Amino acid sequence: MIHPNHSSSSGTRRRLVAAWWPRLSLVAVVASAMALVIAACADRPAPTEPETVDLALAAQGRDIFRFDTFGDETFWTDTLRMHVVIASAVDPTTALAVGLKVDTDSLPAAVVRGIQDGSISLKSPATTVALLKLNAVVGVKGTVSTVAGRDTLVRVGITCALCHSTVDNSFAPGIGKRLDGWANRDLNPGAIIALSPALTAAQKAVYNSWGAGKYDPRYNFDGKNGPQVIPPAYGLLGVHKVTATGDGDELAYWNRYVGVTQMHGHGTFSESRTGVQVNNAPPDLVSSKLPALQAYQLSLSAPTPPAGSFDAAAASRGALVFAGAGRCASCHSGALLTDANVRLHAPSEVVSEPEQSGVPSYASRSATRMYRTAPLHGLWQHAPYFHNGSAATLEAVVELYDSRKHLGLSTQQKADLVQYLKSL
């Protein structure tokens, strides 16, 4: 995630309404709206055959996504000394407070009972070490050895799941079953990094300024402080430009970037457009795993909205606003609701710039210098919105578009559009 000197609930199946007529009505209206979208995009290339995922390869990728550090312990342990911090100062209560999650499927029944009856303390760092020994802390991989008769955390690293998985809170807040691909918007990476004794006070101040759900994947190269929201890693099958700025033509490009330059795994990354050249090999512990990792991520579907979370009748009307007066479908087009495979957009075209508080344009720090149109399925789940989190709610998203694009939408149209977005 950084360079030491810094130059680095479960989704419920959708039920639109209990009665059949509103359900059929919404389907009919959405179909009409999509017909308008298709007509608006008639000059674009015809779609190719739907992409598929090799499920056997994806099964291998699940373990990589959840548990593989790519050897990044050499950074998080040897450089940042995070194993010392965790063992001495990070009890489970603190860990949960900074957004770390615990996977109940990894907990033996005795541990579950101990947490429930209080016989296992959530105020002791030793409990955190025990959870790491069980491989129960999502996205954090610990090596625990017996030293002088007691369990001791001797090495620690991180995995993709740290930022791109959460849990369903079915046991307690922050404790439950894994939800892979869901952005962990509770996670405060900056606050976690700032615990390292290897950092200066100035570096810690930058990291502590990011807040929950945000991370800056460029800071360790350009020294500019502009954290971005952690994106979901689901609903990407068929989307070739997967990042906010469309760097790379497949998910494996970004997986390599993050695995090598941010997690500090053992591998290489080279990008002439940004001048980033990193070689953490040998050994290369990244390249051979990229196909399976990508397959697993592409197998993750966007979650459907919880039952009763939107007004079906209003969503029916909002679908027409989306395709018509709201002009949303001019970019959020096709089955994937994005034109990312066809074109990118200049910063002047998007409503999320200029950035907040004088932060430099995120696009200007990227390889493309542009933005891609975000896919919208599962939109209900991952507030705040836009690459920089500048809209806290879908209502704020619609208001921002209406004002900056001079759409002139009525109050009713805006309310209906919000309900449609919640239905995706």
Model pTM?
A: 0.87
For residue 307, the number of C-alpha atoms closer than 13 Å in the C-beta half-sphere is 6
Name the region of 302 (left: φ>0; alpha: ψ -120 to 50; beta: rest).
Answer: beta
Average the pLDDT over 338-344 and give the result.
97
Please give the share of the chain, as a percent, with pLDDT higher than 70.
Answer: 88
pLDDT for 31 equals: 45
- 39: pLDDT confidence band, cut at 50, 70 and 90? very low
- 243: pLDDT confidence band, cut at 50, 70 and 90? very high
- 407: pLDDT confidence band, cut at 50, 70 and 90? very high
The total of other beta-carbon atoms located within 10 Å of residue 37's CB is: 20
pLDDT for 261 equals: 98
- 28: pLDDT confidence band, cut at 50, 70 and 90? very low
Residue 275: pLDDT above 60?
Answer: yes
Average the pLDDT over 232-246 and give the result.
96
Average the pLDDT over 195-207 and give the result.
97
Q: Which H/E stretch holds residue 164? A: helix 161-164
User: Max Cα separation, the chain?
Assistant: 72
Residue 396: pLDDT above 50?
Answer: yes
pLDDT for 357 equals: 79
Residue 10: pLDDT above 70?
Answer: no
- 49: pLDDT confidence band, cut at 50, 70 and 90? low
Residue 46: pLDDT above 90?
Answer: no
Could you give the CA distance from residue 224 to residue 360 in angstroms, rounded to a whole number?
7
Residue 142 CB-density burial (10 A; 0-12 exposed, 13-18 middle, 19+ buried): buried
Q: What is the pLDDT of residues 343-380, one digit of tens each?
A: 999 999 999 999 987 789 999 999 999 999 999 999 99
pLDDT for 9 equals: 40
CA dihedral 289, 291, 293, 296 (to 10 degrees): -150
Residue 398: pLDDT above 80?
Answer: yes
Residue 277 β-bridge partners: 270
Q: How far is CA 165 from the centre of its chain?
A: 8
pLDDT for 42 equals: 40
Q: What is the mean pLDDT of the chain?
A: 90
Q: Which H/E stretch holds residue 102? A: strand 102-103
Q: Which domains does the chain have, with CATH numbers?
A: 20-48+305-423 (1.10.760.10), 55-298 (no CATH)
Average the pLDDT over 303-316 and give the result.
97
Please give the share of the chain, as a percent, with pLDDT higher than 90.
Answer: 87
Residue 360 CB-density burial (10 A; 0-12 exposed, 13-18 middle, 19+ buried): middle
Could you give the CA distance from residue 200 to residue 2 in angstroms, rounded to a whole number?
13
The total of other beta-carbon atoms located within 10 Å of residue 336's CB is: 19
